[in-house]
Amino acid sequence: MTVNNRKFFQQIRILDPLSGIDEVTNLFLDQGVITEIGDHNISDDGQIEVIDGTNLILAPALVDLYSRSGEPGYEERETLKSLMEASQDGGFSRLGILPNTNPVIDNPSMVTWIKEKTSHSNTKFYLWGGLTKDLEGVTIAELAQLAQAGVIGFTDNRPHHNLQLVRKLLEYAQPLNLPVALVPTNIQLRGNGVIRESSTSIRLGLVGNPEVAEAVGIASILEIVFLTKTPVHLMRISTARGVELIKQAKENNLPVTASVNWHHLLLNTETIASYNPNLRFEPPLGTEIDRLALIQSLKDNIIDAIAVDHTPYTYEEKTVAFAQTPTGAIGLELILPLLWENLVATGVLSPLELWRSLSVNPLKCLNQKPINLQIGQSAELVLFSPQQSWQVTSSQLKSLSSNTYWLDKEIKGKVVLIINN
């Protein structure tokens, strides 16, 4: 919602990962601008909305690095309007859209069309441009024209089997000074794997995807980055070995950032015993060792950000055998409550560590300025109630799709309000 009035948040817990603030105090908004922070009171002239901050959190709005829109081409999964509503309901004021639409975002006209379509949205959409034409083949997209049209960066949102092409892509992108997001997977080693290769994959009778597929994918990309010096973002890191390789790369000052899909922080390969098709991801859920390593990597700033990777599918598309179901799940309305309930409330992550991974660092990965919670700044805030319980149902979700493991489950934590001036 757009704020054009006056609000006084009284004795509310304020989180600001940029300044390291986590304290209970007062905050005053006047016409959508932060004008006062502190324990002093505001004289009420009858035109101020006073909000009791008991058990509530006020913090910078969230930012997602990459998610999918159904529109154009797959409007039955998600429209740009429903995507905006889901993002607002989840506390996100900014959202990266992957180029996997139909037609693909691989030319300036598509960028212009989506920008015009979303120009009055309360959510700021960042558009990723395709690296290659139609996200397939070997024809490099007009990267300079896409950059001029206003894309936030480039990605094909899939692994590349041709490393010579990857080198050319990074060389062409280097002078444009925009992030290139790559999926680090060796396709040959991955094969037809649908679950992390382990004793569990054998027990469940599912083809395994070995850890080494990600390790080799990361190592190959890092060698090319060492050569080209092009800034690269590594998407969907899922293994402990992957964390080790990224740590080494950062210690060697390579221009690399990385993100993890939020599901990989909460679930492991044992969960797949239910054969729930909404647990099919690419890369697949890791072992418990992987999960713990990924959480620790966020604390240590090795993996920079948590991605929603919102991937909507219809009921019919997802209601097939586990090995045949398309990969991915929705998450915009679920990520903050579930990460807070399972990682922050349990003491695994601090509130500021979680918020840093969902707000400050995603913008850092996109070369954008952070959201400031300071006097004089326009408000871009989320009001969150960590104690509010609700049931995840199709009618409760703003997303048109409901492909999630948590469907029909009760969870704790709800975004009350997003304030975006």
- 185-195 confidence digits (pLDDT tens): 999 999 999 99
CATH number reported for the structural domain that contains residue 139 in this entry: 3.20.20.140
Quick one: pLDDT band at residue 1, thresholds 50, 70, 90? very low
Confidence check: pLDDT of 2 > 70: no
Q: Does one domain contain both 27 and 171? A: no
Q: Does one domain contain both 32 and 170? A: no
Looking at residues 22-40, what average pLDDT do you find? 92
The Cα–Cα gap between 171 and 231 comes to: 11
CATH number reported for the structural domain that contains residue 20 in this entry: 2.30.40.10
Q: How confident is the model at residue 41, as a pLDDT? A: 73
Q: Does one domain contain both 38 and 180? A: no
Give the count of alpha carbons within 13 A of 408, CB side only: 0
Going by C-alpha positions, the residue among 95, 61, 101 that lies closest to residue 79 is: 101
Residue 145 placed within a domain: yes
pLDDT per residue as tens digits for the range 220-230? 999 999 999 99
Catalytic residue among 44, 156, 309, 408: 309
How many domains does the chain fold into? 2
Residue 333 placed within a domain: yes
Q: Does one domain contain both 358 and 382? A: no
The Cα–Cα gap between 328 and 71 comes to: 17
Q: Does one domain contain both 191 and 326? A: yes
Quick one: pLDDT band at residue 5, thresholds 50, 70, 90? confident
Q: What residues have CB less than 8 Å from 415, skipping those under 6 apart?
A: 89, 90, 91, 333, 336, 382, 383, 384, 385
Q: How confident is the model at residue 68, as a pLDDT? A: 97
pLDDT per residue as tens digits for the range 86-110? 999 999 999 999 999 999 999 999 9
| Phi, psi at 194, each rounded to 5° | -125, 0
92-97: strand order across its sheet:
62-67, 92-97, 124-129, 153-155, 180-182, 232-234, 256-261, 305-307
Q: Does one domain contain both 32 and 158? A: no
Tell me which amino acid residue 280 is: R
Strand partners, 380: 420
3-state secondary structure of 374: coil
Looking at residues 359-377, what average pLDDT do you find? 95
What range defines the domain where residue 312 resides?
61-365
3-state secondary structure of 324: helix
Handedness of CA 350, 352, 355, 360 (dihedral sign): negative
Quick one: pLDDT band at residue 47, thresholds 50, 70, 90? confident
Q: Does one domain contain both 32 and 103? A: no
Residue 400 placed within a domain: no
309 a catalytic residue: yes
Q: How confident is the model at residue 160, as a pLDDT? A: 94
Confidence check: pLDDT of 136 > 70: no
Q: How confident is the model at residue 406, as a pLDDT? A: 98
Q: How confident is the model at residue 40, as a pLDDT? A: 75
3-state secondary structure of 293: helix
- CA-based R_g, the chain, Å: 21
E strands present in 175-314: 180-182, 195-196, 208-209, 232-234, 256-261, 305-307
The Cα–Cα gap between 77 and 386 comes to: 29
Q: How confident is the model at residue 39, as a pLDDT? A: 85
Residue 18 placed within a domain: yes
Going by C-alpha positions, the residue among 93, 96, 113, 70 that lies closest to residue 399 is: 70
Going by C-alpha positions, the residue among 224, 106, 112, 235 that lies closest to residue 174 is: 224
Residue 1 placed within a domain: no
pLDDT per residue as tens digits for the range 56-94? 999 999 999 999 999 999 999 999 999 999 999 999 999
Looking at residues 142-147, what average pLDDT do you find? 97
Strand partners, 415: 384
Helices (H), 107-210: 108-117, 143-149, 163-173, 187-190, 199-204
Q: Does one domain contain both 106 and 204? A: yes
**Mean pLDDT for the chain overall:** 95
Q: How confident is the model at residue 135, as a pLDDT? A: 61
Among the listed ranges 112-121, 127-136, 151-160, 304-313, which one has the minimum average pLDDT value?
Answer: 127-136
Q: How confident is the model at residue 44, as a pLDDT? A: 64
Q: Does one domain contain both 158 and 291? A: yes
pLDDT per residue as tens digits for the range 208-264? 999 999 999 999 999 999 999 999 999 999 999 999 999 999 999 999 999 999 999
Residue 398 placed within a domain: no
Looking at residues 287-305, what average pLDDT do you find? 98
Q: Does one domain contain both 239 and 340? A: yes
Strand partners, 310: 329
Q: Does one domain contain both 171 and 66? A: yes
E strands present in 31-170: 33-38, 48-52, 57-60, 62-67, 92-97, 124-129, 153-155
Residue 396 placed within a domain: no
Confidence check: pLDDT of 3 > 90: no
CB 230 within 8 Å of CB 171: yes
Q: What percent of the chain has pLDDT over 70?
A: 97
The Cα–Cα gap between 167 and 169 comes to: 5
3-state secondary structure of 8: strand
Q: Does one domain contain both 193 and 271? A: yes
Quick one: pLDDT band at residue 4, thresholds 50, 70, 90? very low
Residue 352 placed within a domain: yes
